Structure 1
Amino acid sequence: MDFPPFRPVSRRRSRQLFDLLAGFTYTQVLYCVVTLGLIDMLAGPPLSPNAIAARIGWPLDRTERLLKAAISLQILERTSAGEVTLGIHGAALKGNPWIARFISHHSLLYADLEDPVGILSGTKKQSQLKAFWSYADQRNAADYTALMAASQEAVAAEILASYDFSRHRHLLDIGGSNGTFLRAAANRYPQLKLSLFDLPKVAEIARANLGNRFEIHGGSFLDDELPKGPDVATLIRIAHDHDDAAVATLLAAVARMLPPGGTLILAEPLSGLRATAPVADAYFGLYFAAMGQGRTRTPEEIGRMAKDAGFASIAVVATRNPVVSGMLQLTMP
């Protein structure tokens, strides 16, 4: 810091280190803004701090503290007249309302991370996230299906912009949730036959959500055979939810289902990429630790597992926004 030519670098690194120190407070400010409904409240004309305080039922001084914090993080911004409106990040939240669903969902993660050492070391055996993602008994099937569906449109847009399904005749979306991706695929490729496979309770939700255009199959991809016939399958944010043994079982099931030359499109956050390392390795690393299963993997790790399952080749498919989703193309011999 004392040497002027190095001072800009020193300042930047000081700020980065402080962001690591204080990042947990930033997320709590974001959580408060979303929970209090300020994104929708300020999507219209700017409001004065007094008006905001009256709407949320807080004292003015407490409201000002929250507003100043949110303005500093560019979630909100103050006009020249002293009123408050959405900042660049607040506007992005309004334009992508599914993000707010995950911000609200993070209350479970915050509770689990009260003991981050226990979560990461594995000594903390019970967690709220583990209870929420109850795949085995499906007791929260409606809740976690709704949560995943909230962001599926954004992920579907990345997949459909990055891979051409017109070369295929029949697509099976494995773990397809309520069918949001298949509906988007149907709009883009009206000639494509479309099927969905998911746990029985989730398949019921998909069946109610989708029309006769789609085939719906209920079952477990870890225990049941996948329906024959498709020449392309998709695994969208599925593999990273499971441990290696389960992923090996899943990839082998997909390989048995696909015909020679068939294709598997795997879309999820990928580890080992510098541009998305904090997303894949820090955020999802702790999330899956709290969840009690799953991890993000590098393309090379998935490639080795795919080869063992019977796939001939694996290729990274570039997506427009890898923060939303990475993508791999696995091909049968």
Structure 2
Amino acid sequence: MVDQPVRRVFVPPQSGDPNPDQPPPLNPARITGVASGFMTAKALFVAAEVGLFAALPDDGATAETIAQRCQLPVRSARAIADLLVATGLVEHDGERYRNAPDTEAFLAGRGPLDMRAMLRYWDLVSYPTWTRASTAFRTRQGVRAEQLSEEQTRAYESSVALVTAETAADLAEAYDFGPHTRLLDVGGGIGTFAKPILRAYPRLTATLLDLPDVVDVARAEVAADAFADRLDLVAADVFVDPLPAGHDVVVVANFLHLFSPERNLELLARLAEVVAPGGRLLLVDWFRDPAAPHPATRLGSGEFLMISGGDTYEASDVTGWLDQTGWTPVEHLPLAAPAGLIVAERVG
């Protein structure tokens, strides 16, 4: 009997020039890398929480310096930094650690975009929710806690605002709100979409509708805005409570993806009941391209399922729902990828 060679589990990825006449031997590096990804993800979240990236100057810092600045034990500072070196987010020359260029730009608080709010959401809300992913994928039911703490709600809304700010600005430019007088923003969060619209159209007034805990956060976010007197905040469940009437344009942004097709049909039908014939409905969402799904929609399909049983939908799905609920599709406009805008009109 010939002894089989022992297979190593932890093998670094192959490097060097491959032999064109012989395929490289298979190894499990990709599998172990993906499977252990939760460890590096959590290290990333902790690093952002303790301010590790902000603590690294251009010329780098030793583990001892990181520990002092971040109030960590030296061994912990070294362990977190080493995990991030493996991802490429942190660089190490044998003595000093420094931010990679993209890390410096987006995680140190000194660049053009600060993505730490997204990491905070993933840490406080998304990460614990995904521990129940098996149930969600098997049942198509959301598994996130029904009630978020105030800290979790702020983390969620801040992350959504970060991700959708570009899309919100695009919407205010792509659609002419000039003919309208009163806007209803359904699931409006902390006003990410309503604010740029009101800023661009001084004669427009608006109502932001969202759940009570979200509205509590939104009040503080819009209180100091110059247009605060033109934005009413209404705490309500759009599927249960009476909907405010008197609006000639409705924005539903990044909301359909949170729910099943059946719930979206219910939502669109309810909105049709409070909008007069000729009123407009603006649906902004991450519409899935089945031929070439955008990376964000790949992540979103799982995340929206975990939150509340949602998904990313194709534009054809949405226009089909409109046809069934008293709306006529008017046009489909691209926004910042992968977002798009579907405009519909209330049937007379």
- Under TM normalisation by the shorter chain, which class is it? 0.7 to 0.9
Task: Please list, as runs of the form range in 1=range in 2, the aligned pairs for 1:1-333 lying within 5 A after superposition.
Answer: 4=20, 20-42=34-56, 46-58=60-72, 60=74, 62-78=76-92, 82-93=96-107, 94=109, 95-97=112-114, 99-107=115-123, 108-122=125-139, 127=143, 129-132=144-147, 140=149, 143-144=152-153, 147-152=156-161, 154-162=163-171, 163-169=174-180, 170-207=182-219, 209-210=222-223, 211-273=228-290, 276-281=293-298, 283-313=299-329, 315-322=331-338, 325-333=339-347
Q: Whole-Å Cα distance in 1 between the matches of residues 57 and 185 of structure 2?
A: 36
Residues 201/63 of structure 1: CA separation in 2 closer, same or farther (3 Å cut): closer
CA radius of gyration, larger in: 2
Cα offset, 1:27, TM superposition: 2.2
Cα offset, 1:33, TM superposition: 2.0
Report if aligned partners of 2:185, 2:194 keep a CA contact under 8 Å in 1: yes
SS at match of 2:48: helix
Cα offset, 1:88, TM superposition: 0.6
Report if aligned partners of 2:60, 2:96 keep a CA contact under 8 Å in 1: no
Q: Whole-Å Cα distance in 2 between the matches of residues 221 and 268 of structure 1?
A: 18
SS at match of 2:234: strand
Q: Whole-Å Cα distance in 2 between the matches of residues 318 and 292 of structure 1?
A: 26
Residues 331/153 of structure 1: CA separation in 2 closer, same or farther (3 Å cut): farther
Long gaps (5+) in structure 1 = 134-139
Q: Which moved more, 1:212-221 or 1:21-30?
A: 21-30
Q: Whole-Å Cα distance in 1 between the matches of residues 201 and 309 of structure 2?
A: 35
1:137 maps to: none
SS at match of 1:102: helix
Residues 83/40 of structure 1: CA separation in 2 closer, same or farther (3 Å cut): closer
Q: State the one-letter code of the partner of 2:285.
A: E
Q: CA RMSD in A?
A: 3.7
Residues 256/294 of structure 1: CA separation in 2 closer, same or farther (3 Å cut): same
Residues 41/168 of structure 1: CA separation in 2 closer, same or farther (3 Å cut): farther
2:4 maps to: none
Moved over 6 A (4+): 14-18
Paired residues, number: 318
Residues 142/247 of structure 1: CA separation in 2 closer, same or farther (3 Å cut): farther
Cα offset, 1:119, TM superposition: 3.6
Report if aligned partners of 2:187, 2:252 keep a CA contact under 8 Å in 1: yes
Long gaps (5+) in structure 2 = 1-16
Residues 72/317 of structure 1: CA separation in 2 closer, same or farther (3 Å cut): farther
Report if aligned partners of 2:251, 2:282 keep a CA contact under 8 Å in 1: yes
Residues 3/256 of structure 1: CA separation in 2 closer, same or farther (3 Å cut): farther
Q: Whole-Å Cα distance in 1 between the matches of residues 194 and 177 of structure 2?
A: 14
Report if aligned partners of 1:207, 1:216 keep a CA contact under 8 Å in 2: yes
Cα offset, 1:21, TM superposition: 4.7
SS at match of 1:272: coil
Residues 16/258 of structure 1: CA separation in 2 closer, same or farther (3 Å cut): farther
Cα offset, 1:272, TM superposition: 3.5
Structure 2 length-normalised TM: 0.74
Report if aligned partners of 2:166, 2:336 keep a CA contact under 8 Å in 1: no
User: Share of identical aligned residues, percent?
Assistant: 19
SS at match of 1:212: helix
Higher helix residue share? 1
Report if aligned partners of 1:231, 1:258 keep a CA contact under 8 Å in 2: yes
Residues 41/132 of structure 1: CA separation in 2 closer, same or farther (3 Å cut): farther
Cα offset, 1:320, TM superposition: 2.5
Q: Whole-Å Cα distance in 1 between the matches of residues 30 and 324 of structure 2?
A: 41
Q: Whole-Å Cα distance in 2 between the matches of residues 16 and 264 of structure 1?
A: 45
Q: State the one-letter code of the partner of 1:165.
A: D
